[in-house]
Amino acid sequence: MWWWNRFSTARFRTGPLNIRTYVRYTQDINSATQAVFRAKGWVVGRNVAIKRYDSTPTGQPLELFDSAHSRRPVIVELLRSPWIVRASELVRRDGGGATKRVEEPLTVEWDVHRQCPVSFVRANRRYVVDAVVQVWAAERRWWDPRRQVSRRFFRVVARGGVYDLAFDRAHGGWSLTGIQD
C-alpha cells in the first residue's frame, strides 16, 4: 500500500517532521484505508495499536513494543494524532498522569546530515530512535540568565515508548525531558 510504504522505518528517519503524514492520514483514514484494514482482519479505529494489545492481567512484558516492527503502529497512531500534546504537559501536579516529566542529562547520537537524533543512551542502555514525530523550539526569558530557556525539543519513538529529548542551545547539552509509556 502506498501509505504503508511511506511509513517504512527508513522513511520516518528522513526528517524531523512530516506534515504530509498528518494531513494525508487525517484525511484518508476514515475512508478507503479503513476498508483495507477490515479486510485484513485488523483492528481499526482510533488507537489501533493499543487496542490490539492484550490487556489481560496475566502479565505484560516489560516493554510494550519490543521491536521496531511492533512500534510501527504506535508511530502511525502518533502521526495520525497531531493533537497529542507534549508529554511533559500531561504530568499532573499530584505526580500522576500519563507522562513522567524528567530532567535527565543524556548522551545523544546526532545525525548531522538528517539533522535529527539517531539514538540516545539512558541508564547505560542504548535506545535507537525509530522516528522523530515532532520537533519544537523554545526560546524564553533570554533576558534573565538564571531562568533562560533555549531549547530544541525532539519527540521520538524508541523502545519503551515516546521520549522528549531536548537540546540546550545555550549550554550545548542534551537532556531527557519527558517519557510517555
Partner 1 sequence: MHLHTHSHFSFMDGAAPLDGLVARAAELDMPALALTDHQGLSGVIRFYSACRAAGIAPIIGCEVVVEAAGITGEEADLPPEARLDMPARVGFGRASAPGFHLTLLARDFEGYRNLCRLLSRTHLRGAEVPSIVRLRDLRELSGGLIGLSGCGNGEAPQAIAMGHPGRAGAALAHLAECFEPESFYVELVHTLTVASPRVISGLVRAADERGLPVVATNDVHYLHARDHRLHDVLSAAGARMALPGPYDRPNSELWFKPAAAMRELFAGLERACDATLEIAARCAGFELPLGEFHFPGADIPAGETPYSVLAKESWRGLERRYQPMTPEAIRRLQHELALIDQMGFPEYFLVVKEIVDFAKRSGIRCSGRGSAGDSIVSYALGITDADPVRHDLLFERFLNPERRQMPDIDVDFDSARRDEIIDFIYKRFGHEHVAMVATVNTTTARSAVRIAARAFGLPIAEVNSLSRHLPWVSARKIREVLATYPECRDHPLHDPRYASVLEIAERLDRTPTHLGTHLGGFIITREPVASWMPLQWAAKGTVVSQYDKDDIETLGLVKMDILGLRTHSAISQAVELARARVGESAVPEPFDLVPDDPRVYAQVSSADTVGMFQLESSGQRNLSTRLKPSCFEDIIAQISLFRPGPLEAEMIVPFIRRRHGLEPVSVPHEGMRVVLADTYGVIVYQEQVLLVARAVAGFDLAEADSLRRAMTKGRSREEMERIRGHFLERALGRGVDAEVAVEVFRQLEGFAAYGFNKAHAACFAVVSYATAWLRTYYPAEFATAILNNEPMGFYTPRLVVNDARRHGISILPPHVNASDACYTVEQEGSAIRVGLRDVHEMTARLLEVLPRERAVRPFRDLADLLRRTRAGVSAAESLIRIGALDGLGITEAGRPPTRDELLVLLPELKAVLAREGSAGDDVLCLAPAPVRAAEDDSHVSGWSPARRLSAELELVGLSLTDHPLALATADLEGRGVTWARDLHELPDRSKVRVCGVRERAQTPRTRSGKRTCFLTLEDPTGLLDVVVFSDTLARCGDVIVKHRAYLIDGTLQNNCERGLAIVAGDIKPYVVRTASGAPVRMRRGVPSGPMGPSLGGAGAPEEESWGGAVIAAEERAGWNGSGP
Nearer to partner 1, 44 or 90 (CB): 90
Cα separation, 108 vs 113, in Å, equals 15
Q: Does residue 134 bind partner 1 (CB under 8 A)?
A: yes
- Residue 30 binds partner 1 (CB under 8 A): no
Looking at the Cβ atoms of 20 and 52, the one nearer to partner 1 is: 20
- By CB under 8 A, residue 3 contacts partner 1: no
Residue from 11, 138, 173, 181 in contact with partner 1 (CB under 8 A): 138
Question: In the set 105, 142, 171, 173, which binds partner 1 (CB under 8 A)?
Answer: 142
141 near partner 1 (CB under 8 A) = yes
* Cβ within 8 Å of residue 26, ≥6 positions away: 80, 82
The torsion region of residue 99 among left (phi > 0), alpha (psi -120 to 50) and beta comes to beta
* Number of Cβ within a 10 Å radius of residue 17: 16
Give yes or no for residue 43 binding partner 1 (CB under 8 A). Answer: no
Grid cell locating 63: 516493554
Q: Does 20 bind partner 1 (CB under 8 A)?
A: yes
Q: Which residues of 46-74 are buried (b: 16+ CB within 10 A; e: fewer)?
A: eebbeeebeeeeeeeeeebbeebeebbbb
Candidates 3, 9, 26, 37; binder of partner 1 (CB under 8 A) is: 26
- Span near partner 1 by CB under 8 A; candidates 37-45, 46-54, 60-68, 131-139: 131-139
Using CB under 8 A as the binding rule, whether residue 85 contacts partner 1 is answered as yes
User: Rounded distance, CA 65 to CA 72, Å?
Assistant: 9
Under the rule (CB under 8 A), what is the footprint of partner 1? 15, 17-24, 26-27, 82-83, 85-86, 89, 134-143
